[in-house]
Amino acid sequence: MPAAQESPGRITKISVTGFKSLRDEQSIEIRPLTILAGANSSGKSSILQPLLLLKQTLEESYDPGPLLLNGPNVRFSKMDQLLWHSDGEAQSARTFRVRLATAETSERGLTFTEYEQKPSIVEMTDTVGGESLTLREGMDDAEIRSKVLPRLVRVNESQIAGMRFYVSRDRWRLRVSAPLALPSIFDPTTPSIFPPLLPGLTVIQWSLPVLADEMSEDILSMIHLPGLRGEPRRTYPLAAVGSHFPGTFHNYTASVIASWKEGEEGKEKLAGLAGDLERLELAWQVEATSLDAAQVEVKVSRLPKSKAGGAAELVNIADVGFGVSQVLPVLVALRVAGEGQMVYLEQPEIHLHPNAQARLAEVIAAAARRGVRVVVETHSSLLLLAVQALVAKGELPAGDVGLNWFRRDDDGATRIESGSLNEAGEYGDWPEDFADVELALKRQYLRAAAAHVPAGDDPTPPGH
C-alpha cells in the first residue's frame, strides 16, 4: 500500500452522491499521485468540490453555517446548484452525500440537503473500526436509545427512563438532546466519540462535529490551485506564510518565494524551485522581494538556462511568457507542501509547451516521492505519458499512481473508472482516450492529405 495511505486521519478515499453530475455514488482513492482525466464537464472538479466546500467553510472567520457556498475555492449562490438535476424533476436529488474514508474501516459520512435554499446537514455517520454510528434528523427516542446511546456513554437505564431523546440541528452539528440533565449518570472514564460539548449544563447534549480533528486538519492543510491562476502582475500582495494556505494558493506564491530567502531550508527550497524552472526550460533563477509592507515583486531570469560565467539578468515576471507566471504557483505549491499534505492542482499544464508539460510530470512525481499527496486534474496526454515513462523506468512506484477517468453517461450522470499502472507503466483497459483522439486525428489527416499527395516524380517541395 502506498505510504501516503498509511497515516491515520488522512483522507484516503472520497465518495460523493447526488452532487452536480455525480448522481450515483462515485469514488476516487487518494494515492501519492492521483490523476483525474476526462472530457470537459465530465465531473472531474465535482468530485473534489465537496472537499473544497468543507475547506472554505472551516477556514471562514465567521460562522457561515454548514457549508460556505460562495468562497475562494468554489462559488455557488444557492444550494440547488450543488444538487443533481435531470430533465425530469422527479429524478432530481434533494440531498447530496460525501463520504471521507481515512482507512478501510473508518470514515465520516455527511449528508446535506436544501433548507430554504441554504445547505443544511441532515445526517452524519461515523464509522470507526467497521462500526457505524448514525445521527439523523428525525430519529425517534427508541432509535436513539437502541442505536446511539450505547455508543456514546455508559448509562443506567433507570436513570434515563423518563427522558425523551431527540436529534436536533445546531448550525453544522447534529445533536442528541434530552430535556433533563443528569450529569452524574455518565462515567467520565468511558471513551466517547461524542463527548458532551458543554458538560455540566442542565440539558444533556452530545454533538457530532462535522469532521474529526485529524480530518479537519487534512482538509485545512490542503493546497488548492484552480485552473485560473490570475494574470501576471508587476507586484503581488504580501501574504502571511505558514504551513496552511487558506483560499487558493496562487495568492501566496510570491510571498512564499520571498520567505525562502532566509534560512538553510528556505534557500534549499529556492534552489529547488530554480531547478524546477530550469528543468521546464523556462528560467534558471527566481527571486521575490518585499517592496514594502504590502507588495512583493517576483523576478525570473530572462534566459531559460544558465550560461557559463554569465550573471543572471532578472526581469519582472510580467515581462516573460505567460507559461512562467502560470506554472510558478504549481512549482511553489509542490515545494512548500510538507509530507502528507494534499496538493490539488487543476490543469497544471496550461500555457506550457509540450516539452515543459512532460517535464512537469517529473516535478510532480518528485513531490509525490517526497510524500506530498498530489491530485492532478489534467487534459495533458503528454503529462500522463511522462508519468507512465517514470513508472516504467522505476522512478515512481506503480502503486503510487491512481488513475481516474471521468465520463458522462446518456443521462448526463458522471461515471468514474479507476485504474492503476503496472510496472511497465501500462494502464490496461482504463478508458484513457487521449491516444485515441490523437490517433483518430492522424488517421483523418492521412486520409485527407492523401488526396493532395503529389506524384512521385513531382519535385516541388512541401509548402511551395
Instruction: Give whichever of 339 and 438 is closer to another protein, judged by the CB atom.
Output: 438
Coil, strand or helix at 263 = coil
Q: All 3 cell numbers of residue 6?
A: 498509511
52-65 exposure pattern, b = at least 16 Cβ within 10 A, e = fewer: bbbbbbbbeeeebb
Q: Give the interface segment with another protein, choosing from 101-109, 271-279, 336-344, 426-434 (CB under 8 A).
A: 426-434
Candidates 129-137, 186-194, 290-298, 432-440; binding stretch for another protein (CB under 8 A): 432-440
Decide if residue 442 touches another protein (CB under 8 A).
yes
122 vs 36: CA distance, rounded Å: 30
Applying CB under 8 A, among 426, 459, 463, 464 the residue interacting with another protein is 426
- Which of 69, 290, 427, 463 is in the footprint of another protein by CB under 8 A? 427
- 463 near another protein (CB under 8 A): no
Residue 438 found at the interface with another protein (CB under 8 A):
yes
CB-based contact 96:208 (threshold 8 Å): no
Nearer to another protein, 193 or 440 (CB): 440
**How many whole angstroms separate alpha carbon 208 and alpha carbon 319?**
52
Rounded to a whole number of angstroms, the distance between the first and last alpha carbons of the chain is 59
Is residue 271 close enough to count as binding another protein by CB under 8 A? Answer: no
Distance, in Å, from the CA atom of 300 to the CA atom of 314, rounded to the nearest integer, reads 5
> Does 424 participate in binding another protein (rule CB under 8 A)?
yes
Between strands 95-103 and 401-408, the pairing is: unpaired
SS3 330: helix
What type of residue is 348?
P
Residue 347 C-beta: closest distance to another protein, Å: 21
The smaller minimum CB distance to another protein, of residues 322 and 445, is found at 445
Number of residues that bind another protein (CB under 8 A): 24
- Identify the residue among 265, 292, 410, 429 touching another protein (CB under 8 A): 429
443 in contact with another protein (CB under 8 A): yes
Give SS3 for 418: strand
Residue (59 or 400) nearer to another protein, CB: 400
Please pick, from the candidates 18, 50, 226, 425, the single residue that binds another protein as defined by CB under 8 A. 425
Interface with another protein (CB under 8 A), residue from 220, 385, 408, 420: 385
Please select the residue that binds another protein; options are 40, 447, 459, 461, rule is CB under 8 A.
447
C-beta of 450: minimal distance to another protein in Å? 4
d(CA 37, CA 385): 13
- Residue 436 in contact with another protein, rule: CB under 8 A: yes
d(C-alpha 182, C-alpha 160), whole Å: 8
What gap in Å lies between CA 388 and CA 32, rounded to an integer?
Answer: 15
Stretch of 68-76, 207-215, 291-299, 449-457 contacting another protein, by CB under 8 A: 449-457
Sequence letter at residue 28: I
Q: In degrees rounded to 5, what are phi and psi of residue 290?
A: -75, 120
Residue spans of alpha helices (H) in 337-452: 354-369, 381-392, 434-450
Asked if 448 interacts with another protein (CB under 8 A), we say no
Sketch the per residue contact string, 278 through 317, with another protein: x for CB under 8 A, - otherwise. Answer: ----------------------------------------
In a 3-state reduction of DSSP, which class is residue 366?
Answer: helix
The amino acid occupying position 204 is: I
Q: Residue 420 Cβ, how far from another protein at the closest point, in Å?
A: 11
Q: Taking Cα atoms as reference points, which of 373, 364, 417 lies closest to residue 2?
A: 373
Exposure of 134 in the CB half-sphere (CA atoms within 13 A): 12
Candidates 407, 446, 460, 463; binder of another protein (CB under 8 A) is: 446
Binding segment toward another protein, per CB under 8 A, in 26-34, 146-154, 338-346, 427-435: 427-435
In this chain, which of 130, 453, 460, 463 binds another protein, going by CB under 8 A? 453
Query: CB burial class (10 A; 0-12, 13-18, 19+) of residue 225?
Result: buried
Residue 428 CB, shortest distance to another protein, in Å, is 4
> For 113-161, where are the alpha helices, taking DSSP H only?
141-143, 149-152
- The distance of closest approach from Cβ of residue 2 to another protein in the complex, given in angstroms and rounded to an integer, is 21
Tell me which of 388, 390, 396, 404 binds another protein, using CB under 8 A. 388
Residues in touch with another protein (CB under 8 A): 385, 388, 422, 424-429, 432, 435-436, 438-439, 442-443, 445-447, 449-451, 453, 456
